[in-house]
Amino acid sequence: MKIYPVRSKKYLYAGIVGIIIVAISIVVIHFIPSMTGPYTTSNTSDQVAFLDFSYDEENSDLKTQLALHHINMTKPIRLSSPADVAQYCNFLTDPKKQALVTYCTSTVLASKYGNLGEINMVGSNDVPGLVVVALQSDPTLHNYDDVKTVFSTVINSTICSCWDSAAPDGFLTLSAFVDKLRDTHLQTKDPTTSTHVIPLGNKHFKIELTTNTDGYLWKLLVSK
């Protein structure tokens, strides 16, 4: 598992209908890759790989699965107007790829410890191209098990239930993988520590951990 310190990230928090949506400025060269297939734009240089599920399907599945672990997920807020997309679905630093984003959904998660974070999906009107999970932990990491549960649930649902057989980067469990990221981050003075982009199934994911004023911000990114 390769861990990379990241020195500059920008996070913008904004409220819509009482729900906080995290707009994260991130470099996602590998997270919206060029491809050919049924979900592409007409301009070859700007083609985007979309995920193989719909917003409604995946939000519903995640809500059901997380409830089994006593984590509540709200109904998704849907954003599709150009103004809302520009303000709240602006996740990509590449302007050409960001221009292809026309829709996004956002849901809020809560556990016994209170507000846990959000799951955001951005892409075309029909299917997402990127899933961004943003979770907040306090300085004592009281909700650390919940973070692992959410990440595991999202990976199993959006990618595959194949971690045990694939053992990404040699880690037999996601729990051990996240432990390594946490331990590495706590030993460094860099504000953000990140894994590299990791292939799993026929998709990719990446996890980042950032120290902020409230404790620690965890991010899981999933793409084709």
Q: When comparing pLDDT for 42 and 109, which is higher?
A: 109
pLDDT at site 16: 38
pLDDT-based confidence at 89, cuts 50/70/90? confident
Question: Which of 39-48, 65-74, 211-220 bottoms out in mean pLDDT, i.e. has the lowest?
Answer: 39-48
How confident is the prediction for the chain on average, in pLDDT? 82
User: How much of the chain exceeds pLDDT 70, in percent?
Assistant: 79
Q: Is 197 within 8 Å of 204 (Cβ atoms)?
A: yes
Return d(Cα 62, Cα 65) in angstroms, integer.
5
Per-residue pLDDT tens digits for 121-146: 999 999 999 999 999 999 999 999 99
- Provide the CA 6 distance to its chain's centre, in angstroms: 17
Report the pLDDT averaged over residues 170-186: 96
- What percentage of the chain carries pLDDT values higher than 90? 64
Please tell me the predicted confidence (pLDDT) of residue 1.
63
pLDDT value at position 3?
A: 55
Of 8-22, 106-120, 204-218, the range with the lowest mean pLDDT is 8-22
pLDDT tens digits, residue range 10-43? 333 334 333 333 434 333 433 444 333 333 333 4
